[in-house]
Chains A and B, each alone.
Chain A
Amino acid sequence: MDKWNWDRFLDAWPYVLDGLWVTIQFTVLGSIVAYVLGLIFAIIRQLRIPVVDQVLWGFIEFVRSTPLLVQVFFLYWVIRPEVLQGVDSDTQKILVGTFALGVHYACYTSEVYRAGIEAVPKGQWEAATALSLPRSRVWTGVVLPQAIPRVLPALGNYTIAMFKEVPLLSAISVFDIVYQVKTEYAASQGGAGPEAWAAAGLTFLALSYPCAILVRRLERRVGTV
C-alpha cells in the first residue's frame, strides 16, 4: 500500500463536507447558548446575592476544571434518560450537544462579560443612580451597551474554540466531521487513513484561521478586556 493516495484524499471530501454542515450548526447553537447563559451568569454574579454567588462560582470553576467530554457523557447517559424520555433520538443529540457546549463555554464567557462589565467606569453607575434610572434601564441602557462591544473579540475566540471541540460530540454519534470520517468514510474504504484525517484537519483550519484573523482585527479596533 502506498503511503499517500490522492484518490482516497479526494474521496474523503463529500464525507467531510457533510460533517462540516453539522459541525457548524452545533457551533452556532452552542455559541448562542454560551453567549446568553454567560451573560446571565455574569449579571447574577454582579448582583452578589449571598449563597447564590458562591454556588454559581463553585459551579463555574468546577465546569471549567473538568473535561467537556466527561460532561457530555454525564448529560447523555445520566440526565438524558431522565429528562428527555419520548423525544426522538436526533433531537436528543441536538439538545444534549448544544447544552453541553453551551454550558461549558458559558462558564468561560461569563468571565469575559464580568471583565467587560467591570471595565465600565464607576462614574457611569453613579450617574445612572443620580438620574434615578430604574435598575433594568441601568443595565440595558448604560452598562451593557458599553461592555458588550469590548467583549466581542473574546466571545469570537470562544466560538472558534468551540468549533474545534464539536468533534467530541462524535462520541455520542452526532454526525459531525470526525464521525463521518471515522464511521461512514471508514466503512466505505475499509478504514480511515491519513488522507481523510488531513482533509478533516484542513477543513477546520480553512474555517478557523480566517475567523481568527478577523477576531484579531476586531481586537485591535475595540481593544481587549
Chain B
Amino acid sequence: MDNFSVYLERILEGLPATLWATGGGIALTIVISLLAGLGLLSPSRIVRGLVRVYVEGFRGSSEVVQLFFFAVALAIFFGLPWNQTAQGLLLIGIIVLGLNHGAYGAEIVRGAVQSVPKEQLEGAVALNFTPVQRMWRIILPQAVVEMLPPFNNLFIQLLKGTALLSFITVPEMFQKADELRAVPAFSRDLWLIYLILLVFYMVLAVLITVVMRWLETLAARRVGRSVPSRERALARGAAA
C-alpha cells in the first residue's frame, strides 16, 4: 500500500492516451455511424451493398485482428509510417476503434431512422420540404432520441476497447499499469494496481453515461418528449 501514489501516477501517465483514444474514437464513430447508417437506407443498391460489406466486414472480424492489420497495412499500402511513433499508433488505434464501432453504430442509426413514424415523412413531403430538410429537420431530430441509449452502450464498449490498444503498444492506461508488473518490488501489490485501473475505467464509463443521459434529456425536450425514467444508471447491454 505504501506505493499507492507511485501506482496512481503511473496510471495517470496513461490517462491522456486513453482519453484521446476514447474521445477520438467516439467522434469518428459518430461520423461513420451517421454516414454508414444513412448509406444503409440509400435508394441506390450499389451504395447499400458497399456499406453492407463495410458493416458486416468490421462487425464480423475481430477488433484485435483489425488493430494488428491496420498497424502494418497503413504503412505498406499507403506509405503512412504511423506505426513508428506512439502518436501514430494512437492514431491507428483511433481509426480502428472508429471503424469498428462505426459499423455497429450504423445499424443503430438505421434502426432509429426506420422507427420514426412514416406519417412524419409524409407530412414533410406534403409541406414541400426538400429531401435534405426532411432528413435534417424532421427525421433525425426524432431518430436521435432513439439512438442515444444504444450509443451510450456502444461508447462504453469503445472505452473498454481502448485497453486493446496495448496490443499495438499505445501507451494508454492499461499498458502503463501493466509495465509495473515487471518490477519485483511491486508484484505483491498487483491486485491494487489492477483495482485502481478498473476503478478508473468504471469512473470513465459512468461519466459517459452521465453525459449521454443529459444529451438524451435535451434531445427529447427538443422534440417535445420526456425521457422515460430508467432504473439502470450504468451500462445496459453490449452491442452484440
The chain A residues found within 8 Å of chain B, CB to CB, are 3, 61-62, 64-71, 73-74, 77-78, 108, 111, 154, 157-158, 160-161, 164-168, 170-171, 177-178, 181-182, 192-194, 197-198, 200-202, 204-205, 208-209, 212
Contact B240 A65 (CB under 8 A): no
Count of chain B residues near A, Cβ 8 A: 44
Chain B residues near A111: list those with CB within 8 A.
Answer: 236-237
Contact B234 A202 (CB under 8 A): no
Contact A70 B174 (CB under 8 A): yes
List, sorted by A's number, 27 A–B pairs whose CB atoms are closer than 8 Å: A3-B76, A64-B238, A65-B201, A66-B201, A69-B164, A70-B163, A70-B174, A73-B194, A74-B194, A78-B191, A78-B194, A157-B240, A160-B240, A167-B62, A167-B64, A171-B167, A178-B62, A178-B64, A178-B65, A182-B68, A192-B68, A194-B76, A194-B77, A197-B69, A201-B69, A208-B59, A208-B60
Chain A residues near B159: list those with CB within 8 A.
Answer: 67
Contact B160 A201 (CB under 8 A): no
Which of A66, A164, A192, A212 contacts B63, CB < 8 Å?
A: A164
Closest to A111 in B: B237
Q: At the interface, is chain B mostly helix, strand, loop or mixed? A: helix
Contact A201 B62 (CB under 8 A): yes
The chain B residues found within 8 Å of chain A, CB to CB, are 56-57, 59-66, 68-69, 72-73, 76-77, 156, 159-164, 166-167, 174, 178, 181, 190-191, 194-195, 197-198, 201-202, 205-206, 234-238, 240
Contact A65 B202 (CB under 8 A): yes
Contact A165 B62 (CB under 8 A): yes
Q: Which 3 pairs across A and B sit closest by C-beta, in order of nearness?
A: A157-B240, A201-B61, A67-B163
